[in-house]
Amino acid sequence: MSILITNIKELLQVYNSNVTILKGKEMNNLPVLKDAYLYLENDTIVEYGPMSDCDGIEAETTIDASGRVVLPAWCDSHTHLVYPEDRAGEFIDRINGLTYEEIAKKGGGILNSAKKLQEKSEEQLYNQALERLNKLLKLGTGVIEIKSGYGLTVESELKMLRVIQRLKKETQAFVKVTFLGAHAIPEKFKKNKKGYIDMIIKEMLPKIYEENLAHYIDVFCEEGYFTLEDTELILKAAQKYNLPAKIHVNQFNAFGGVELAVKYKALSVDHLEELTSDDIDALKKSNTMPVALPQCSFFLGIPYTNARAILDAGLPLAIASDYNPGSAPSGNMNFVLSLACIKLKMTPEEAINAATINGAYALGLSSMYGSITRGKKANIIITKPISGYQLLPYSFGENLIDTVIVNGIIH
Ligand SMILES: N=CN[C@@H](CCC(=O)O)C(=O)O
Ligand SMILES: [Zn+2]
């Protein structure tokens, strides 16, 4: 199957050499080819260039992209897409003045989702998650990370991971799977957290390894959840099973989680609504990608990640949706892009880089995804006719995505 996209108004992220990460000032650079064509074969980007060089190229399908912007599909590096049902009740509680922490303390939050998830079958969870994922594909997401973490028992964590594995096998999206058994302390272990951590290390991890169910390990390193010591125990154990870390840190409190993650060579540190100069210093000495989740700040009314401090320190930055029923009930990366510009004060160029190439890096995939480069995967967004790529973050709440090609298939 070959696809030729012609008359492209702006082709974004064109790199002849295989760029895999953008840092600091580099993030303000977004290469644009005007009046361009793009030629795809099966799941691969084969050629691109100015329309004047397009003569003689033929394909089974031709798409006229006059007036449209074409760019790599979004790489969403942080989601909790598999969950049993919404938590709209907590939304109302928060409107009435309760905080996320207060809701969690009275049995809501993650434990509420875990209770519901334990009652659902693998089939039910799969069908719900598939519907969500199909919506996201149409909104431009081609690569997605999905975490477990609403199981919190051996059986239910494995159930979640199997559902995610099935999404990986049976959909066009490229799915990376993260084990987040350490998402909350189950009610049963309230007075015996050590017992739950033991269960993660001695029962869950070996089974996950045996069945090859996950690519990454995650821990919610936060007051009231998992301490630095707890996190270190889990990251150490995961090393034995070759599961690199992508961890939740600094959502509500900054107490050294970033430094610990860097010590364990984490692929990414996610949230960072609270950020200290020590965190920045630790990141400077690392290859770890900081990931901002602005929808969580928007929805919970907590501070936004200080993206400017991160970028001005010469560091890279990715943005992701954090799609989950408690703190970010949407996986729409187009809105994430708008928030990055409006609230994180990122330029459209920085935000697009953060949602494509650096998102791919945060999943260990940037040599295959995230830019328009010969040999990279054919994951492409074609917008509706627009005046320029700045419209993507500018027109918040409006769907400007017309066609999405994922893995060479048109959606
Ligand atoms: N903070 C931890 N995990 C999710 C929220 C999960 C939930 O509330 O269900 C997050 O990244 O925001
Ligand atoms: Zn999360």
What ipTM was assigned to the predicted interfaces of this complex? 0.98
Q: Among 77, 79, 80, 336, say which to mutate for ligand 1: greatest number of ligand atoms within 8 Å of CB.
A: 80
Annotated binding residue at 248? Answer: yes
Q: What integer is the mean pLDDT of 243-254?
A: 98
Sign (positive or negative) of CA dihedral 408, 82, 182, 110: positive
Q: Report how far residue 180's alpha carbon sits from residue 240's, in angstroms, rounded to the nearest whole number.
A: 16
Annotated binding residue at 78? Answer: yes
Nearest CA to ligand 1 atom 8: 326
* The pLDDT value given to residue 183: 98
Q: What integer is the mean pLDDT of 279-297?
A: 98
With a 6 Å cutoff on the Cβ, whether 220 touches ligand 1 is yes
Question: What is the whole-number distance in angstroms between the Cα of residue 374 and the centre of ligand 2?
Answer: 33
Q: What is the dihedral of CA 160, 161, 162, 168, to 10 degrees?
A: 120
* The pLDDT value given to residue 105: 85
Q: Among 83, 220, 300, 305, say which to mutate for ligand 1: greatest number of ligand atoms within 8 Å of CB.
A: 220
- Say whether pLDDT at 227 is over 90: yes
Edge-to-edge strand ranges of the sheet holding 268-271: 74-76, 141-147, 174-182, 216-221, 246-249, 268-271, 289-292, 318-319
Q: For the chain, what percent of residues have pLDDT higher than 70?
A: 100
Q: What integer is the mean pLDDT of 380-389?
A: 98
Structural domain boundaries of the chain? 2-72+370-410, 75-361
**Coil, strand or helix: which one is 189?**
helix
**Residues paired with 380 in a beta bridge:** 72, 405
Two structure tokens written together for 23: 């840092």
With a 6 Å cutoff on the Cβ, whether 248 touches ligand 1 is yes
Q: What integer is the mean pLDDT of 53-66?
A: 96
Annotated binding residue at 172? Answer: no
Ligand nearest to the CA of 116: 1
Q: φ, ψ for residue 134 (rounded to 5)?
A: -60, -35
Residue 27 sits at the vertex; the CA angle it makes with 302 and 292, to the nearest 5 degrees, is 20
Nearest CA to ligand 1 atom 11: 322
Q: Report how far residue 311's alpha carbon sits from residue 27's, in angstroms, rounded to the nearest whole number.
A: 8
Q: What predicted TM-score, i.e. pTM, was given to this entire model?
A: 0.98
- Say whether pLDDT at 238 is over 90: yes
Q: Report how far residue 262's alpha carbon sits from residue 272's, in angstroms, rounded to the nearest whole number.
A: 14
What CATH number does the domain located at 2-72+370-410 have? 2.30.40.10
With a 6 Å cutoff on the Cβ, whether 74 touches ligand 1 is no
* 295-347 pLDDT per residue, tens: 999 999 999 999 999 999 999 999 999 999 999 999 999 999 999 999 999 99
Q: What integer is the mean pLDDT of 260-288?
A: 98
- Say whether pLDDT at 280 is over 90: yes
Per CATH, the homologous superfamily of domain 75-361 is: Metal-dependent hydrolases (3.20.20.140)
* 397-409 pLDDT per residue, tens: 999 999 999 998 9
Question: What is the whole-number distance in angstroms between the Cα of residue 55 and the centre of ligand 1?
Answer: 51
With a 6 Å cutoff on the Cβ, whether 6 touches ligand 1 is no
With a 6 Å cutoff on the Cβ, whether 140 touches ligand 1 is no
* Cβ 301 vs Cβ 327: under 8 Å: no
- Say whether pLDDT at 282 is over 90: yes
> What is the number of other CB atoms lying within 10 angstroms of the CB of residue 60?
9
Annotated binding residue at 327? Answer: yes
- pLDDT class for 365, splitting at 50, 70, 90? very high
Q: What integer is the mean pLDDT of 46-72?
A: 97
* 91-148 pLDDT per residue, tens: 999 999 999 989 988 888 999 999 999 999 999 999 999 999 999 999 999 999 999 9
With a 6 Å cutoff on the Cβ, whether 251 touches ligand 1 is yes
| Residue 150 Cα: closest atom of ligand 1 | 9
> What is the number of other CB atoms lying within 10 angstroms of the CB of residue 295?
24
Q: Among 327, 330, 336, say which to mutate for ligand 1: greatest number of ligand atoms within 8 Å of CB.
A: 327
With a 6 Å cutoff on the Cβ, whether 296 touches ligand 1 is yes
Residue 209: is it exposed, middle or buried by C-beta count within 10 angstroms (0-12/13-18/19+)? middle
Annotated binding residue at 251? Answer: yes
- Say whether pLDDT at 68 is over 90: yes
* 184-208 pLDDT per residue, tens: 999 999 999 999 999 999 999 999 9
Annotated binding residue at 195? Answer: no
- pLDDT class for 18, splitting at 50, 70, 90? confident
* The pLDDT value given to residue 127: 98
